[in-house]
């Protein structure tokens, strides 16, 4: 394993963690297109219902659902990246131990 492999994964983990923090702060930039459309559609629908003087419960629930789906997606990405990094580190350690034990001394 080259250090560049873990460095690349570390950068990806850091970037995805920043995205997760942004989603938890309800920022729109880290969302993908489907999530962004769902949130904006719910906001528009809620705005129309508010203008008509009606309840916005369904719109609020759909907004909360979209935010939690985005958060869940990013948590899964971070977990997968950390697992991949750990796998690379473990493989490198096994290779190093095998190389050491195969020596004459």
More confident residue, 94 or 18: 18
List the chain domain ranges.
Answer: 3-94
**Average pLDDT along the chain:** 90
In 3-state terms the chain splits into helix, strand, coil percentages (rounded to 5) of 80, 0, 20
pTM higher than 0.75: yes
Query: What would the pLDDT profile of 39-64 be if each residue is shown by its tens digit?
Result: 999 999 888 888 888 888 888 999 99
Q: What length does the chain have? A: 105
pLDDT at 18 exceeding the cut of 90: yes
Distance CA 30, CA 51 (A): 29
Distance CA 92, CA 61 (A): 47
Confidence of residue 2 (pLDDT cuts 50, 70, 90): low
């Amino acid at each position: 394993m080259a250090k560049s492999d873990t460095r690349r994964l570390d950068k990806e983990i850091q970037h995805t963690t920043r995205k997760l923090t942004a989603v938890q702060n309800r920022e729109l930039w880290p969302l993908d297109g489907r999530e962004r459309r769902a949130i904006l559609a719910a906001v528009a629908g809620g705005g129309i219902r508010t203008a008509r003087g009606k309840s916005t419960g369904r719109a609020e629930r759909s907004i909360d659902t979209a935010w939690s789906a985005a958060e869940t997606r990013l948590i899964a990405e971070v977990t997968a990246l950390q697992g991949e990094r750990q796998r690379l580190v473990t493989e490198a350690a096994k290779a190093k131990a095998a190389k050491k034990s195969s020596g004459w001394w």
